[in-house]
Amino acid sequence: MFKGQINTEQVFPYPSVLSEEQAQTLQELVGPVSRFFEEVNDAEKNDVLEKVEDKTMQGLKELGAFGLQIPVSLGGLGLSNTQYARLVEIVGMHDLGVGITLGAHQSIGFKGILLYGTPEQKEKYLPKLATGETIAAFCLTEPASGSDAASIRTTAELSPCGTHYTLNGGKIWISNGGLAEIFTVFAKTPLKDEATGEVRDKITAFIVERSFGGVTHGPPEKKMGIKASNTAEVHFDAVRVPVENVLGAPGAGFKVAMHILNNGRFGMAAALAGTMRGIISKAVAHAANRTQFGDKIYNFGAIQEKLARMALLQYVTESMAYMISANMDQGASDFQIEAAISKIFGSEAAWTVTDECIQILGGMGFMKDAGVERVMRDLRIFRIFEGTNDILRLFVALNGFQNAGSQLRGLQQAVKNPLGNAGLLVSEVGKRMRRRAGFGTGISLSAVVHPSLSSSAERTVRAIDLFAGTVEEQLLKHGKKIIDEQFVLKRIADSAIDLYAMVVVLSRASRSLEQGHSTAQHEKVLCDTWCMEASDRVVQNLTSLRADSTRQFFKNLRSISKAVVENEGVVSPNPLGI
């Protein structure tokens, strides 16, 4: 999209990736897992106890919930990403605290072993991790390194004999930190550059056992939400880690960490789609039964708008989650931008949906008995951990700019040899002239979108054309300094998020219409409604970047922020002067 193109093969038709056997396996799991969370797990009690009840932990182990994606040959259920997403959606619908316990274990805790582990490492660790006999944790965050993962201070020094590393340092806010026996730990290691002979610190990933000695943890943190999950500091004091426990190559730890996080983000969107599904049911039940002013409140326009927007946000999030899981199952390796988008969108959508549910329930929603305030508290962390939404927006925009920049550099090279690249140059010049004249560049979705969604498809194409043109304008204007233009990057990222959402709902609704699903006409309305408003947001965001008033607006924001910081708080005095 950043280049003004659509890779329709990746998103159309909406993917159906489960084999008959996989669908049957999933069908056999959905019932028991749903019943377990309805009949055994007590989310309110877990929240009060600030731990997952022992009977719940044992039941989850018996269900195989700790090894969903570990191969069957190593004791797990061997589920695909799409199967995993469906079960995670059920967990998210009922108890996000339990979801974090399970997710910290397998979505990031031992995911590095699945992705980068040697056969020996997998054989040694995965069987016990699959049964829940041992719990895993992911240790990256430190007091001085949150979003800036490259600035970690934990160190690992290779012994003179070359048999082990000595690990020293501490990690904070580690989910499962007080429960885990196996840790994926990231530390700086001095490595010699073979070409220059220079020794530099690089991050290396390690599999660390608590049984190695020197591994301790602090008390459970007191948190706003997800109280059932264990969060603690983890300390490493002269821990001897065998060289066989390096995960991936020495010095490649940053890549390992980012791949683990990118690989697991789709699961967050799936879980939050489940959360929204449950919350919307609560809101609808209240709206359908509450009478005010002589009528059920669902008949009032104010409530109808809230319920409709809640349904839209859930539909988009769910569509993203299963699009990405399917792409991954089909072997896609370049999905990190889409995964980041799904995390940003899902976490913000779930917060909005839950907030609106409380508003629909009124005073009742504010009370603990309704069970919604706990969900609200649980949700707040999702915009922060596994990549804050602010950093992920920069990630989305800058990755896209990098791809668009590569295309521009190719054109610049082509200009140096115009005769040899005449066809390419004519095509690109023509495309830009049509875009500037408002005729579009010729991209189309008509061949892949259901005919009844043609107006939404045209909106999407026009928005993509505008988006690509704006990206190119900003690149030409700022060049490499675009990295410092965070006001611009945020608006580009927000537009990319809206565009991706438009494409995935067009794909999903088209499939429903083509296959004659009973909900097809409802999904068509969801899709059309989303595309109407999203395309307007894209146009507003992008056209504003060309305006002098926007540059002044950004300048004002910088000035206000600077003044507040210099004043150590609000600058203006109380209006009473007292």
* CA dihedral for 203, 209, 213, 214, sign (positive or negative): positive
Confidence label for 426 from pLDDT (cuts 50, 70 and 90): very low
CA distances in angstroms from 276 to 33, 165, 282, listed in the order given:
18, 45, 10
Q: What is the pLDDT of residue 147?
A: 77
Q: What is the pLDDT of residue 146?
A: 76
Q: What is the pLDDT of residue 442?
A: 74
d(CA 212, CA 314): 45
Q: What is the pLDDT of residue 3?
A: 87
For residues 332 and 15, the answer to whether their CB atoms sit within 8 Å is no
Residues paired with 202 in a beta bridge: 189
Q: What is the pLDDT of residue 406?
A: 67
Report which DSSP code applies to 381. G
Q: Which of 277-286, 330-339, 490-499 has the lowest mean pLDDT?
A: 330-339
For residues 408 and 480, the answer to whether their CB atoms sit within 8 Å is no
Q: What is the mean pLDDT of residues 303-318?
A: 98
Q: What is the pLDDT of residue 428?
A: 46
- The model's pLDDT over 188-237, given as tens digits with 9 standing for 90+, comes to 999 988 888 899 999 999 999 999 999 999 999 999 999 999 999 999 99
Confidence label for 360 from pLDDT (cuts 50, 70 and 90): very high
Tokens 């999950």, residue?
229
Q: What is the pLDDT of residue 422?
A: 52
d(CA 523, CA 532): 14
Within 10 angstroms of residue 103's Cβ, the number of other Cβ atoms is 25
For residues 189 and 154, the answer to whether their CB atoms sit within 8 Å is no
- The model's pLDDT over 74-116, given as tens digits with 9 standing for 90+, comes to 999 999 999 999 999 999 999 999 999 999 999 999 999 999 9
d(CA 201, CA 82): 38
Counting residues of the chain whose pLDDT is more than 70, the rounded percentage is 94
d(CA 151, CA 301): 51
419 has a pLDDT exceeding 90: no
Q: Report the residue count for the chain.
A: 578
Confidence label for 380 from pLDDT (cuts 50, 70 and 90): very high
For residues 242 and 86, the answer to whether their CB atoms sit within 8 Å is no
For residues 431 and 464, the answer to whether their CB atoms sit within 8 Å is no
Joined together, the tokens standing for residue 97 give 């605290």
Q: Which of 275, 303, 276 is CA-nearest to residue 288?
A: 303
| Angle CA 34–36–37, to nearest 5 | 70
Q: What is the mean pLDDT of residues 297-305?
A: 98
d(CA 317, CA 309): 12
Q: Pick the more confident residue, 424 or 559.
A: 559
- The model's pLDDT over 152-167, given as tens digits with 9 standing for 90+, comes to 999 999 999 999 999 9
For residues 272 and 346, the answer to whether their CB atoms sit within 8 Å is yes
432 has a pLDDT exceeding 60: no
| Angle CA 187–185–154, to nearest 5 | 30
Q: Which of 95, 94, 126, 102 is CA-nearest to residue 113?
A: 126
Cis peptide before 15 (omega within 30 of 0): no
- The model's pLDDT over 484-520, given as tens digits with 9 standing for 90+, comes to 999 999 999 999 999 999 999 999 999 999 999 999 9
What are the backbone dihedrals phi and psi of residue 167, each rounded to the nearest 5 degrees, phi first? -100, 125
Q: What is the mean pLDDT of residues 303-313?
A: 98
Q: What's the predicted TM-score (pTM) here?
A: 0.93
Q: What is the pLDDT of residue 271?
A: 98
Confidence label for 425 from pLDDT (cuts 50, 70 and 90): very low
Q: Which helix (H) or strand (E) holds 269?
A: helix 253-289
405 has a pLDDT exceeding 90: no
The DSSP code sequence of 207-243 is EEEGGGS-EEE-PPPP-SS-TTS-EEEEEEEEEEEEG
Q: What is the pLDDT of residue 403?
A: 83
Q: What is the mean pLDDT of residues 295-300?
A: 98
Q: What is the pLDDT of residue 145?
A: 84
Q: What is the pLDDT of residue 524?
A: 98
Mean pLDDT of the chain: 94
The DSSP code sequence of 477-502 is HHGGGGGG-HHHHHHHHHHHHHHHHH
305 has a pLDDT exceeding 90: yes
Catalytic residues: 386
415 has a pLDDT exceeding 70: no
Q: What is the mean pLDDT of residues 173-177?
A: 98
CA atoms within 13 A on the CB side of 501: 34
- Rg of the chain taking only CA atoms, in angstroms: 25
Q: Which of 132, 137, 40 is CA-nearest to residue 95?
A: 40
Q: What is the pLDDT of residue 414?
A: 45
Q: Pick the more confident residue, 27 or 151.
A: 27
- The model's pLDDT over 443-469, given as tens digits with 9 standing for 90+, comes to 899 999 999 999 999 999 999 999 999
Q: What is the pLDDT of residue 578?
A: 95
